[in-house]
Amino acid sequence: MRKIQYTLATVLLGTLLSCSDNDKPYYPPPSSNTNGNEVGTAQIWVTSGDKSRLISAQDNLSIIDNTTTNYPSITVDQTLQFQEIEGFGAALTGSSAYVINQLSGSQKSALLQNLFDAESGIGINYVRLTIGASDFSLSDFTYDDMPSGQTDVNLNNFSIAPDMVNIVPVLQNMLAINSDIKFVGSPWSAPAWMKTNQSLYGGKLQTQYYDVYANYLRNYIDAYASNGITIDAITPQNEPLHESGYPTMRMEANEQANFIKSSLGPLFTNNGITTKIIAYDHNFDRADYPLEVLNDADANQYISGSAFHAYAGDASAMSQVHNSYPDKGLYFTEISGGEWSTDFTGNLNWYVRNILIASVNNWSKNVLFWNLALNENHGPTNNGCEDCRGVVTVASSGDVTLNEEYYAIGHFSKFVAPGAHRISSTTFDSSTGLYNVAFVNPDGTKVLVVLNESPSAKTFSTIVGENRFDCTLPQESVATITWE
């Protein structure tokens, strides 16, 4: 990992993302045996597995008016547009907000600038929030905890006070940098008094409290709105098939459908709440869950899409759901790295290929990693993962380490604007070790992300209409290429 001591001036000058003086560009690529006239240029940024380049700008590529090539090639066609892209980012958990908020004012400003400003940093534009405590919070809590044996069906004691210490202030700092950030909220548990086991750990939501819990979620949306934070979407339950010794709640597919159609959906509709309802929010290996929820016509009408995690199964599950319900959005909401895998090169390749490229090519409208920031001890944790890695690591000294997750996200978030669309791009032969996805931004700029996970440099051609450009990508590297 690359460790950098931030200063505000450093970030504002953008030097964290530029080439060093001795970082020699490797363009142009070897000459093809075909010729052509230059009709434009494409810009390129590269991250190499050996860290010699870290979202580093390279010499421009020549776009020529000749499509004949001897190199492996793909064709990009912006006339064939697919899903709209809503953004790329990570989760601001309670732990993430805490470690960020412990920084000095200048350190915090510099870090957030680097994370959320697209010019001087990577321009993260989509953030996941936990509704109440999670396994990465400073303690267990919901927004309406009551003494054992007591209830609060009118939610008179509802308060987001725990979030006002770190989470809300950091979110407001983020929005001051990038006002277009989208937020999705996910609860880990309903208040214990609403549940079958009267505990924050496991158990189910009692049907008698469906309407109360729907109002609880509405109160969350309203409370955040009163602090200038718009919740774009919520999921009814994080990982509804998982129970553990930290806040969790089991919710079977039929139960989620019943909750949405009987309580949450009508409440939102009748009160003009535009926050999206996104089903499932668990692993790729159970596409049957969101399909069962969406198969319920009464629930379906209220649902905007389904969300997935990547701790089991693969991204093709998203296409399975898309094929049955092409009018519903797909969202990727969680994956985490950790000490079980510390190889920068391998992690970079895996994230870009199996999470970012794969999710988007399987119809996802976003890609979110787990903790945005953790400390050098992989926490603070709340009885959950003891060795997870944040997108950045914030040490008690104020040193910030930009982890492989940062660079993987940055190759998308810095260049693909909200409102972009995925566009048609053919695939390379699997023998090349090259993988790709393409976009068109609202301003018409095209973006191509290419991964070379092979152990040798690869030269390839990209054909766009009557033109093409050639590129040589070093071994085990990712490139983002943009052109008008």
| 119 among known catalytic residues | no
Alpha-carbon gap, residue 369 to 355, rounded angstroms: 9
pLDDT for residue 35: 79
Which is the catalytic residue, given 86, 239, 292, 404? 239
Q: Are 333 and 184 in contact (CB under 8 A)?
A: yes
pTM score of the predicted model:
0.94
- Which pLDDT tens digits describe the chain residue by residue (484 residues)? 333 333 333 333 333 343 333 344 444 455 555 679 999 999 999 999 999 999 999 999 999 999 999 999 999 999 999 999 999 999 999 999 999 999 999 999 999 999 999 999 999 999 999 999 999 999 999 999 999 999 999 999 999 999 999 999 999 999 999 999 999 999 999 999 999 999 999 999 999 999 999 999 999 999 999 999 999 999 999 999 999 999 999 999 999 999 999 999 999 999 999 999 999 999 999 999 999 999 999 999 999 999 999 999 999 999 999 999 999 999 999 999 999 999 999 999 999 999 999 999 999 999 999 999 999 999 999 999 999 999 999 999 999 999 999 999 999 999 999 999 999 999 999 999 999 999 999 999 999 999 999 999 999 999 999 999 999 999 999 999 999 9
Alpha-carbon gap, residue 425 to 437, rounded angstroms: 6
Alpha-carbon gap, residue 50 to 472, rounded angstroms: 16
**SS3 of 253, please?**
helix
Which is the catalytic residue, given 86, 255, 334, 453? 334
Q: List strand residue ranges (DSSP E) for 213-288, in order.
A: 233-234, 276-283
Question: Helix, strand, coil % (nearest 5) of the chain?
Answer: 30, 30, 45
Rounded to the nearest 10 degrees, how much is the dihedral formed by the CA atoms of 471, 473, 477, 481? -10
- Angular region, 52: left φ>0, alpha ψ -120 to 50, beta rest: alpha
Domains by residue range for the chain, with CATH:
2-83+422-483 (2.60.40.1180), 86-415 (3.20.20.80)
pLDDT for residue 4: 31
| 405 among known catalytic residues | no
pLDDT tens for residues 8-52?
A: 333 333 333 433 333 444 444 555 556 799 999 999 999 999 999
**SS3 of 240, please?**
coil
Q: Are 398 and 410 in contact (CB under 8 A)?
A: no
pLDDT tens for residues 252-284?
A: 999 999 999 999 999 999 999 999 999 999 999
Please name which of 95, 206, 202, 195 lies closest in space to residue 145, comparing C-alpha atoms: 195
User: Can you list the alpha helix ranges (DSSP code H) found in 44-104?
Assistant: 94-101
Query: What does the buried/exposed string (b/e) look like for 39-62 if buried means 16 or more CB atoms within 10 Å of the residue's CB?
Result: eeebbbbbbbbeebbbbbebebbb
Q: Are 51 and 2 in contact (CB under 8 A)?
A: yes
Cβ-in-10-Å burial (0-12, 13-18, 19+) of 401 comes to: middle
* Tokens describing residue 392: 């950045």
Sign of CA dihedral 39, 83, 413, 461: negative
377: CB partners within 8 A, 6+ apart: none
Q: Are 172 and 227 in contact (CB under 8 A)?
A: yes
Query: What does the buried/exposed string (b/e) look like for 364-387 if buried means 16 or more CB atoms within 10 Å of the residue's CB?
Result: bbbbbbbbbbbbeebbbbbebbee
DSSP letter for each residue of 125-157: -EEEEEES--TTSSS---SS---TT---TT-TT
* Tokens describing residue 334: 């969680």
Amino acid identity of residue 422, one-letter, is R
